[in-house]
């Protein structure tokens, strides 16, 4: 009982509590995921536009240089100086003026490593923001020259990621070089190039500061979809092919090395660069994971709290139930009611217990009284029915003997036989020690009754028995069951018939009952009369024309239950069949 009560209380407490917590947690996760997705799109859009603005500000230096150095006069004068190497006062001033154009922004902008200006000349000379006028054979960085030679067809800006090393003892410095070809008005072929070297680390630091999520990748791709800048190491996405097909949709969804990514991209209209933001899906689920962990914590907390409350309630309620059970047992055994060991509290539980105990005691007492009264009534009714039947039979028998003795002489005759049979019957019927008797005894006493009636109604009827002694005799039956039925056949079916009649008594065993049928081919009865008799039997209203039949039907019900009794079938001038079922 303790285990069942504990589990029941636990379910009643935990199911509503845990269901509420789980539903709230699930709804929080779903709503948060939707809001995160919307926030991601918004944040990515803001971040990428911010990067675009930052890059335009940074690379606006190239536009300024192009405007300052890309006009025909400056190109012509610089080409003449580098080609002729004639350093007149006028040429020196022009060279100094040009040098200032490239030195000023290089010194003022922390992200610029150096600026080169090259105009085609046989000596391979060019201007730098760090060394001034330099020669290709002596300058530490000449990789840009190869890239210029290979891209003289370029009309727009192009970039290259590379490293430079000014001194042998220094580590190479990663830079991103931006190229812009210089054209004169007279030639389609570029006459030179402006080279802008930018610290790659500086730009990537800016990208790293702009990022919104810890694991976010922010990339800047050139027009060939090559990575120029990145905010962090490309571990995990180094093998991604950033081709044109990847950017056909407004958002990016991909999977690399078992990790899924989502992101956005923005195309720069000025340089053809593309700004890309990629975030691992697992990183975006950090918030929902935290909500899930919080939900799991509250589920566990609620479960532990439920266990504690369940234990307390179970202990308290079990003590009350134990006291109630002890009261029940005391009442059943007629013992004094035990004292409640639990202190009385002014709560509804104690009030209910007291009233239950009070009502139970009162009802149990009334139930005992009713059971005793019902038992006495049943016993009295059985005795009354039996006493009602015995004088009726005795009166008829004595009347028969009276008339028979008058017609006989004083010597032994049939009267003696009738008196012997009557004596046995009287002893059998007046013995109140047993209500249930063996079937064999009931049959033998019924045969005594039939013997008396056959002497009285000579040649009026014959009786045929059909039963198996070994199968029937071992079972019990109520006393005087067959005699009233045989009497009913004689007085209501055979007595008034002129011709001789037959009575057949058939007894056989079924699976769970013994079936008895008494069949006569006497007068029978009409349908209306049969209906009246059956109605009186069902309604327990006594039919004084068939008092023996009614009493037998009543005794069967009182002894075996309402499902048992007498069933009658009859046809006028054909006879009557009375059927009885007795449970084994």
With beta carbons less than 8 A apart as the criterion, state whether 230 and 204 touch.
yes
Tell me the two tokens of residue 372: 């005793």
Taking the model in full, what pTM does it have? Answer: 0.47
Residue entry with tokens 């990847």: 246
pLDDT digits 0-9 by tens, 567-576: 999 999 899 9
Taking 70 as the threshold, does the pLDDT of residue 468 lie above it?
Answer: yes
Which pLDDT score is estimated for 239? 73
Taking 70 as the threshold, does the pLDDT of residue 528 lie above it?
Answer: yes
| Averaged pLDDT for residues 238-258 | 78
Question: 541-545 — which CB contacts under 8 Å span 24+ positions?
Answer: 545/492
Give the span between the Cα atoms of 184 and 74, in whole angstroms. Answer: 10
**Is the model more confident about 68 or about 112?**
112
**Is the model more confident about 94 or about 51?**
51
Which pLDDT score is estimated for 361? 65
Taking 90 as the threshold, does the pLDDT of residue 432 lie above it?
Answer: no
With beta carbons less than 8 A apart as the criterion, state whether 584 and 475 touch.
yes
Which pLDDT score is estimated for 232? 82
End-to-end CA distance of the chain: 39
Taking 90 as the threshold, does the pLDDT of residue 399 lie above it?
Answer: no
**Is the model more confident about 349 or about 574?**
574
- The C-alpha torsion from 39 through 45 and 48 to 53, rounded to 10°, is -120
| Averaged pLDDT for residues 230-255 | 78
Question: Would the CA dihedral through 79, 84, 87, 90 be positive or negative?
Answer: negative
CA distances from 173 to 111, 123, 201 (A): 13, 28, 9
- Write b or e for each residue in 105-132: b if 16 or more Cβ atoms lie within 10 A of its Cβ, otherwise e: bbeebebbbbbbbbbbbeebbbbbbbbe
Specify the range with the lowest mean pLDDT, choosing from 68-72, 359-363, 381-385: 381-385
pLDDT digits 0-9 by tens, 280-327: 877 666 666 777 778 777 778 777 777 777 777 777 777 777 777 777
Which pLDDT score is estimated for 439? 92
Give the span between the Cα atoms of 346 and 324, in whole angstroms. Answer: 18
Taking 60 as the threshold, does the pLDDT of residue 464 lie above it?
Answer: yes
Nearest alpha carbon to residue 274 among 239, 250, 254, 238: 250
* DSSP letter assigned to residue 546: G
| Averaged pLDDT for residues 483-510 | 92
- pLDDT band at residue 476 using 50, 70 and 90 as cut-offs: very high
Taking 70 as the threshold, does the pLDDT of residue 124 lie above it?
Answer: yes
- The DSSP annotation for 499-528 comes to S-EEEEEEEEE-SSEEEEEEEE-S----HH
- pLDDT band at residue 87 using 50, 70 and 90 as cut-offs: low
User: H/E/C letters for each residue in 438-486?
Assistant: EHHHHHHHHHHHHHHHHHHCCCCEEEEEECCHHHHCCCEEECCCHHHHH
- pLDDT band at residue 248 using 50, 70 and 90 as cut-offs: confident
Neighbouring-strand partners of residue 265? 276
Taking 70 as the threshold, does the pLDDT of residue 80 lie above it?
Answer: yes
Give the span between the Cα atoms of 580 and 245, in whole angstroms. Answer: 96
- The C-alpha torsion from 52 through 58 and 59 to 61, rounded to 10°, is 150
Backbone angles phi, psi at 172, to 5 degrees: -60, 140
Residue 156: enclosing H or E segment and its boundaries? none
- pLDDT band at residue 181 using 50, 70 and 90 as cut-offs: confident
**Is the model more confident about 220 or about 356?**
220
With beta carbons less than 8 A apart as the criterion, state whether 474 and 509 touch.
no
Which pLDDT score is estimated for 223? 79
pLDDT digits 0-9 by tens, 437-454: 999 999 999 998 898 888
Give the span between the Cα atoms of 529 and 570, in whole angstroms. Answer: 10
| Averaged pLDDT for residues 38-66 | 77
pLDDT digits 0-9 by tens, 384-393: 556 555 555 6
- pLDDT band at residue 348 using 50, 70 and 90 as cut-offs: low
**Is the model more confident about 104 or about 547?**
104
**Is the model more confident about 460 or about 355?**
460
Which pLDDT score is estimated for 447? 92
User: H/E/C letters for each residue in 4-22?
Assistant: HHHHHHHHHHHHHHHHHHH
Which pLDDT score is estimated for 245? 77
């Amino acid at each position: 009982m303790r285990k069942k009560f504990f589990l029941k209380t636990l379910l009643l407490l935990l199911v509503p509590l845990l269901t509420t917590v789980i539903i709230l947690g699930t709804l929080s996760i779903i709503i948060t995921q939707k809001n995160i997705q919307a926030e991601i799109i918004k944040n990515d859009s803001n971040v990428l536009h911010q990067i675009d603005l930052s890059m335009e500000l940074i690379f606006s230096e190239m536009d300024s240089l192009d405007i300052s150095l890309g006009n025909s006069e400056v190109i012509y004068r610089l080409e003449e100086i580098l080609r002729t190497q004639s350093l007149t006062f006028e040429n020196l001033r022009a060279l100094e003026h040009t040098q200032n154009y490239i030195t000023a922004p290089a010194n003022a902008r922390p992200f610029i490593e150096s600026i080169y200006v090259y105009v085609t000349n046989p000596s391979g000379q060019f201007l730098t923001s760090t060394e001034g006028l330099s020669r290709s054979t002596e300058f530490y960085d000449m990789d840009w020259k190869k890239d210029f030679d290979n891209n003289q067809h370029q009309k727009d800006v192009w970039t290259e990621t590379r490293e430079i090393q000014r001194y042998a003892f220094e580590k190479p410095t990663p830079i991103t070089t931006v190229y812009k070809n210089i054209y004169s008005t007279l030639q389609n072929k570029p006459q030179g190039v402006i080279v802008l070297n930018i610290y790659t680390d500086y730009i990537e630091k800016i990208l790293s500061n702009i990022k919104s999520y810890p694991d976010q990748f922010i990339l800047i791709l050139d027009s060939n979809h090559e990575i120029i800048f990145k905010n962090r190491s490309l571990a995990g996405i180094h093998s991604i092919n950033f081709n044109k097909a990847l950017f056909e949709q407004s958002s990016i969804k991909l999977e690399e090395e078992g990790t899924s990514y989502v992101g956005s991209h923005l195309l720069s209209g000025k340089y053809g660069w593309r700004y890309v933001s990629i975030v691992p899906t697992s990183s975006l689920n950090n918030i929902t994971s935290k909500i899930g962990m919080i939900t799991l914590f509250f589920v566990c907390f609620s479960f532990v709290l439920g266990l504690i409350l369940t234990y307390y309630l179970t202990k308290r309620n079990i003590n009350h139930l134990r006291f109630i059970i002890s009261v029940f047992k005391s009442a059943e055994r007629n013992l004094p009611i035990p004292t409640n060991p639990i202190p009385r509290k002014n709560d509804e539980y104690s009030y209910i217990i007291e009233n239950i105990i009070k009502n139970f005691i009162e009802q149990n007492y009334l139930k005992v009284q009713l059971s005793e009264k019902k038992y006495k009534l049943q016993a009295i009714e059985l005795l009354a029915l039996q006493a009602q039947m015995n004088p009726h039979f005795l009166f008829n028998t004595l009347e028969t003997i009276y008339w028979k003795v008058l017609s006989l002489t004083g010597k032994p005759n049939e009267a003696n036989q009738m008196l012997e049979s009557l004596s046995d019957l009287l002893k059998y019927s007046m013995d109140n020690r047993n209500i249930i008797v063996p079937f064999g005894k009931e049959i033998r006493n019924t045969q005594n009754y039939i013997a008396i009636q056959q002497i009285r109604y000579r040649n009026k009827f014959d009786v045929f028995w059909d039963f198996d002694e070994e199968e029937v005799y071992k079972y019990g039956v109520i006393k005087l069951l067959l005699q009233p039925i045989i009497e009913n056949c004689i007085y209501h079916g055979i007595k008034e018939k002129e011709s001789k009649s037959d009575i057949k008594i058939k007894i056989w065993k079924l699976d769970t009952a013994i079936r008895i049928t008494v069949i006569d081919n006497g007068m029978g009865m009409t349908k209306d009369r049969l209906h009246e008799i059956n109605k009186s039997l069902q309604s327990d209203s006594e039919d004084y024309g068939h008092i023996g039949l009614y009493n037998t039907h009543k005794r069967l019900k009182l002894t075996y239950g309402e499902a048992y009794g007498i069933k009658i079938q009859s046809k006028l001038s054909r006879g009557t069949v009375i059927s009885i079922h007795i449970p084994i």
